[in-house]
Chain A
Amino acid sequence: MHELSIAMNIVEIAESEAGRRNARIEAVHLRLGPLSGVVKDALLSAWELACENTVLAGSRLVVEDVPLVVYCPRCKAQRTLDSISFLCPECQSPTPDVVHGRELEVFALEVGDAA
């Protein structure tokens, strides 16, 4: 369980953006890949606690799931996988090259008026 410390990292990023923009953060949008090592539900559960006594208190965490996308060397094309099993869904070749899926990224903030 390291989702609480991940949540606290996200709060820190959002806090510094809030300070820089002199704005109140209503929501944090996160992109999360299946290979990030972070469990979405655990992260959402940890969010309220991580925001306590910060300017983020009362904010929402919006998680966008990033699909697992690999490059198939035989098809010479990107393929989206349904599960973490690295075989091309079209030709069954092994696909070691991960294009998307490791993301653990704050990509946007919903900002309101200055606090």
Chain B
Amino acid sequence: MTPRLVEVRQNVLKHNDEVARALRQRFHASGVFVVSLVSSPGSGKTTFLERTLTSLRPGYRVAALVGDLATENDARRLARSQAPVKQIVTGTLCHLEASMIEKALDGWNPGELDFLFIENVGNLVCPSSYDLGEDLRLVLVSVTEGEDKPLKYPTIFNTSDLAIVSKMDLAPAVEFNWPALEKNIQAVRPEMRVIRVSAKTGQGMDEWLESLTALRSSAGAVPGP
């Protein structure tokens, strides 16, 4: 018998999307604003996040989940901020999936948090496909990486909501070309907001933190004290 073609129409990542949708509903009901961070390895996610947690902590209840293939080094670094931190060791997996977030939240009450940060595995390719139930996806690109990064990895930039240019303190040393990077980001993700920061000197951190708290308020969460 000749094979027949039958229509199916099923999203391959349906299971992940369903778990992510349930997480998002749970986060909204709890009033916690969830931010995920994606970037290539070594772009400064952990330093940026440590500074963010430390700056927010006097006024807000914050926590972080951090994904890596191996080691708990990043969780140890982030724990210096005094915020609750949990490491997700992915083993061989190059990205986080919604079910890993669900599992990592075991024993945590999102209702006791104002902000939850999820640091993805350092990888500009695979994390783009997986919704984690976050409100905001941040993509970090450091000034040392080359201004054409967005053109090489358009999908991760296109699926992100806000871009952070990190390590601005090194900009002069590497002759960083800001107009070129800005143009390339806009080419793959028109109208995306871009904030330039240095987690080392603190440059741009106020602008980032103000945007973050404003986004949380406009998402309908209760403003912090």
Contact = CB atoms under 8 A, between A and B. Distances in A.
Given A1-B94, A27-B3, A94 B9 contact: no
Contacts of A1: 94, 125-126
A108 B94 contact: no
Contact of A37 (B1, B3, B129, B191): B129
B1 A84 contact: no
B189 A86 contact: yes
B5 interface: yes
B120 to A, nearest CB: 12
B129 A36 contact: yes
B13 interface: yes
A2 B158 contact: no
Contacts of A106: 8-10, 12
Contacts of A37: 125-126, 128-129, 155-156, 159
B189 A2 contact: no
Interface in A59-115: 84-87, 94-96, 98, 104-113
Nearest to B192: A96
Contact of A110 (B3, B94, B191): B3
A108 B156 CA distance: 28
Given A37-B155, A95-B190, A105-B11, A2 B5 contact: no
Chain B CB within 10 A, most for which of A2, A5, A112: A2
Q: SS class of chain A's interface: helix, strand, loop or mixed?
A: mixed
Given A2-B94, A35-B155, A96 B190 contact: yes
Contacts of A2: 93-95, 125-126, 129
A45 interface: no
A30 B169 CA distance: 46
A84 B4 contact: no
B6 A107 contact: no
Nearest to A28: B8
Interface residues of B, number: 33
B187 interface: yes
A87 B184 CA distance: 12
Interface in A1-59: 1-2, 5-6, 9-10, 13, 17, 21, 26-27, 29-30, 34-38
B190 A108 contact: no
A1 B190 CA distance: 27
Q: Which 10 pairs of residues, A with B, have the shortest CB-CB distance? A: A94-B190, A37-B129, A37-B128, A84-B154, A2-B126, A110-B3, A96-B190, A26-B3, A37-B155, A104-B12
22 contacts: A2-B93, A2-B125, A5-B93, A6-B12, A10-B12, A35-B159, A37-B156, A84-B154, A84-B155, A86-B158, A86-B187, A86-B189, A96-B190, A105-B12, A106-B10, A107-B8, A108-B8, A109-B8, A110-B3, A110-B5, A111-B4, A111-B6
